[in-house]
Amino acid sequence: MTEGTSAGVLPAGRVRVVGMIGVQREDPSTAGASLSVFGGSINPGGEVPAGVDGEYIAEFASAHEDAGFDMVLTGYSSSTPDGFEVAGYAAGATSRLGYLIAHRPGFVAPTLAARKAATLDQLTGGRIGLHIISGGSDAEQRQDGDWLDHDGRYRRTAEYLDVMKRVWTETKPFDFGGDFYRVQGARSQVRCRQQPHVPLFFGGASEAAVEVGARWADVFAFLGEPLDSIRQRVEDLRRRAAGHGRELSFSVSLRPVLADTEEAAWERARGILARVEKSTRGKIVPGQAAREQSALSQRLVNFAATREVYDERLWMPIAYASGGAGNTTCLVGTPRQVADSLLAYHDAGCTSFILRGFDPLNDAIEYGRELIPLLRQGAARSGAQPAAGS
């Protein structure tokens, strides 16, 4: 076992800004009010058509690189193009941008997954991260032939990450015997370019998720919950990780809705909501978790059912309308106001920010111009002070 690793930790004052790329241009009828970027199961308005468009992937990735993002996420579902292939293709069209590949344990052997990630990390000059998704929908897992239940999936994830880390770090062939995986004489001729291994992000909010994430993840990823909740979760996860002799970093996902004045930003947000409600009508039930077994979706929906706005500008109605379908909580305001809100999450311990808009390509460009510089400057200032977050 390789505990206490430092993959994912950033120097004080540095933040990691992560966007998201899709594989197909959104449907014109939902353009500008697109919930999903990658499509698949969480595509309730049918906003991302089926298919894969290489030219668009390259354009989308390059726009993020030019806008100053550090990485982009590729999503995972049981019906969408494979993230490893998408990331490898997009990496060929960019030179600096990193790729955070959402990956569900259980569908390939962990030894092979480790070699895939290490190979791509070498070929891209160290630009790969994995976002480990254990799965929040039984029905979707079964589409790929997986019949484990929610907590069983997390037990499998723990073994999977144990094996992957050993493939990345052990110098002699090793054996592993668990409930889900048995390997004999495992060895790899490829190491990750990033040492000791590619950063492992991890999402989930159930007890099983926090237990497994505290032990095995590098960056624990939250969706955009109110600040008090994030502070409590950071404290809880730090304590659990310390019990394993480890430290975690933290990420938060949010959807900035920007305009020159605060009033115009709220107007823009209300317009997006009206269009999302229209495109999802009859397709999903507002206020009901989009991923049936996902504690994370349920938490967002519960917060959204209680209040429309938290902490001045964390705006919940789109999370309610979409059943907490992934990153759906918004920060609404001027770039300065939204940057200040992001910096409040930074003060709470988050050093990675997964940001995307409802007009995904144009918003990435706008964030690069208006928002990311303010976020980086503010984080650098607080990093210059003693006792900043991880």
Ligand X SMILES: Cc1cc2nc3c(=O)[nH]c(=O)nc-3n(C[C@H](O)[C@H](O)[C@H](O)COP(=O)(O)O)c2cc1C
- Binding to ligand X by residue 17, rule CB under 6 A? no
- Binding to ligand X by residue 350, rule CB under 6 A? no
**Which of positions 279-318 make contact with ligand X (CB under 6 A)?**
294-296
Terminal Cα-to-Cα distance of the chain (whole angstroms): 23
Instruction: Output the smallest distance, CB 341 to ligand X, in A.
Output: 18
Among 44-52, 55-63, 132-140, 370-378, which window interacts with ligand X (CB under 6 A)?
132-140
- Nearest-angstrom CA–CA distance, 252 and 248: 13
Q: What type of residue is 169?
A: T
Q: Pick from 22, 68, 75, 256 the residue near ligand X by CB under 6 A.
A: 75
Instruction: Output the smallest distance, CB 5 to ligand X, in A.
Output: 20
- Binding to ligand X by residue 203, rule CB under 6 A? yes
Buried-state track 319-334, b at ≥16 Cβ within 10 A, e below 16: bbbbbbbbbbbbbbbb
Residue with tokens 């030179």: 95
Query: What is the token pair recorded at 252?
Result: 């938060």
Residue 21 or 221 with smaller CB distance to ligand X: 221
- Binding to ligand X by residue 133, rule CB under 6 A? yes
3-state secondary structure string, 117-167? HHHHHHHCCCCEEEEECCCCCHHHHHHCCCCCCHHHHHHHHHHHHHHHHHH
Instruction: Output the smallest distance, CB 263 to ligand X, in A.
Output: 30
Instruction: Output the smallest distance, CB 137 to ligand X, in A.
Output: 7
Q: What type of residue is 36?
A: S
234 to 253: interface string for ligand X, x by CB under 6 A: -------------------x
Query: What is the token pair recorded at 27?
Result: 């449907």
- Nearest-angstrom CA–CA distance, 214 and 199: 14
Query: What is the token pair recorded at 348?
Result: 């709470």
Residue 206 or 279 with smaller CB distance to ligand X: 206
CA 6 to chain centre: 19
Count of residues near ligand X by CB under 6 A:
22
Query: Quick check: helix, strand or coil at residue 236?
Result: helix
Residue 136 or 368 with smaller CB distance to ligand X: 136
Buried-state track 76-114, b at ≥16 Cβ within 10 A, e below 16: bbbebbebbebbbbbbebbeebbbbbbbbbbeebbbebb
- Binding to ligand X by residue 205, rule CB under 6 A? yes
**Which of positions 22-61 make contact with ligand X (CB under 6 A)?**
none
**Contact (Cβ atoms closer than 8 angstroms) between residue 135 and residue 141:** yes
Q: State the DSSP code for 387.
A: T
79 to 118: interface string for ligand X, x by CB under 6 A: -----------------------x----------------
Among 69-77, 258-266, 316-324, 341-349, which window interacts with ligand X (CB under 6 A)?
69-77
Instruction: Output the smallest distance, CB 204 to ligand X, in A.
Output: 3
Q: Pick from 37, 192, 217, 221 the residue near ligand X by CB under 6 A.
A: 221
**Footprint of ligand X (CB under 6 A):** 75-77, 102, 131, 133-136, 203-206, 209, 221, 223, 253, 294-296, 326, 354
